[in-house]
């Protein structure tokens, strides 16, 4: 089985210094994999030259496109907007720092194909993965590179705009009964500006609050699923965003 189309999205904010290298590496890998693809840079209100660099890459690489936001939307909202405004059979996202070893990407796709899965995530916290990161950041952060087949049904239900959006998608898909799998990946902290401790603590608090909101919404989805199963109706209407508020 082959995929007719694949949309790979790189969310990018203030990544002007390393975006070109990331696009060159990912585009080269996608060409080697051999199926039609679009590499979409979701530029999110950068204050550096990221948008200019992205435009240059789009004019150089035939399969590269750019979606630009004048102001910061947040990683989750930028990805959600990018995917809802583009059609594909398989949706992929990975961070522009390419902290995850790219050799794992074909394995994610192969796992999805072989098992007819709806969602495959490369997790840096699975047994067998290798993680190189300072202990404080390692303890209080979660991240994924993911391959998703079923998107349009789930995205309208999501509300998180920041980094917790990844987790929101995974929790909702699990709650709704989609076929999912996790693959351990190697992950290495990329060199860059050090995150101030105060900001790191604020991020931990924000993410903790987001995870609580996600759990509450997922329980609402679960209750709606039980009601639907008893009445014999469709599990849920994905367009009804009230279900996940």
Q: Give the chain's length.
A: 245
Q: What would the two tokens of residue 100 be?
A: 């995850």
Element at 177 (helix H, strand E): none
Of residues 144 and 195, more confidence is placed in 195
Q: Which two tokens stand for residue 12?
A: 């990018």
Structural element, H or E, at residue 112:
helix 105-115
Give residue-wise pLDDT tens across range 57-74: 999 999 999 999 999 999
Tokens 């202990």 found at: 135
Give the start-to-end residue ranges of the domains of the chain: 6-244
pTM metric for this prediction: 0.78
How far is the C-alpha of 131 from the C-alpha of 125, rounded, in Å?
A: 8
Res. 21: pLDDT tops 60: yes
Tokens of 59: 């004019």
Q: pLDDT: is 146 or 58 the higher one?
A: 58
Residue 104, token pair as written in the block: 């794992």
Query: Pick from 79, 12, 22, 15: which is nearest to 48 by CA?
Result: 15
SS3 80: helix
6-244: which CATH architecture? Answer: Alpha-Beta Complex (3.90)
pLDDT at residue 15 above 70?
yes
């Amino acid at each position: 089985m082959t995929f007719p189309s694949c949309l790979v999205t790189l969310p990018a904010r203030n990544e002007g210094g390393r975006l070109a290298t990331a696009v060159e590496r990912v585009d080269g890998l996608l060409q080697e994999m051999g199926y039609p693809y679009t590499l979409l840079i979701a530029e999110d209100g950068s204050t550096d030259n990221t948008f200019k660099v992205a435009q240059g890459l789009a004019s150089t690489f035939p399969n590269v496109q750019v979606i630009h936001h004048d102001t910061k939307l947040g990683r989750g909202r930028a990805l959600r907007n990018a995917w809802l405004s583009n059609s594909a059979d398989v949706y992929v996202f990975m961070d522009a720092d390419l902290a995850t070893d790219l050799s794992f990407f074909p394995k994610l796709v192969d796992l999805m194909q072989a098992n007819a899965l709806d969602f495959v995530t490369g997790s840096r916290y699975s047994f067998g993965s290798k993680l190189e990161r300072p202990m404080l950041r390692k303890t209080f952060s979660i991240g994924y590179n993911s391959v998703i087949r079923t998107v349009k049904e789930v995205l309208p239900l999501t509300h998180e705009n920041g980094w917790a959006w990844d987790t929101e998608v995974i929790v909702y898909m699990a709650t709704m009964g989609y076929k999912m799998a996790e693959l351990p990946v190697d992950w290495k902290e990329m060199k860059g500006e050090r995150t101030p401790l105060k900001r790191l603590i604020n991020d931990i608090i924000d993410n903790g609050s987001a995870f609580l909101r996600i759990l509450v919404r997922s329980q609402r989805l679960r209750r709606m699923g039980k009601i639907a199963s008893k009445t014999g109706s469709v599990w849920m209407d994905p367009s009804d965003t009230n279900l996940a508020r």
